[in-house]
Amino acid sequence: MGANCHLDWCQTPWQIGNNLSLPPQVHLDVILLTMWQIWKARNRLVFYQQSSTVADILRGVISDLDSWSCRYKTKKTLLHA
Is 10 within a domain?
A: no
- How would residue 22 be classed by pLDDT, with cut points 50, 70 and 90? confident
Is 16 within a domain?
A: no
Is 6 within a domain?
A: no
Rounded to whole angstroms, what are the CA distances from 12 to 5, 25, 31, 62? 11, 20, 12, 23
pLDDT digits (tens, 9 = 90+) for 25-65: 788 888 899 999 999 999 999 999 999 999 999 999 999 98
Is 42 within a domain?
A: yes
Domain count, the chain: 1
Is 12 within a domain?
A: no
Rounded to whole angstroms, what are the CA distances from 70 to 52, 56, 74, 75? 28, 23, 9, 10
Is 11 within a domain?
A: no
pTM for this prediction: 0.66
Q: Which domain holds residue 32?
A: 23-68
Is 78 within a domain?
A: no
Is 8 within a domain?
A: no
Res. 1: pLDDT tops 50: no
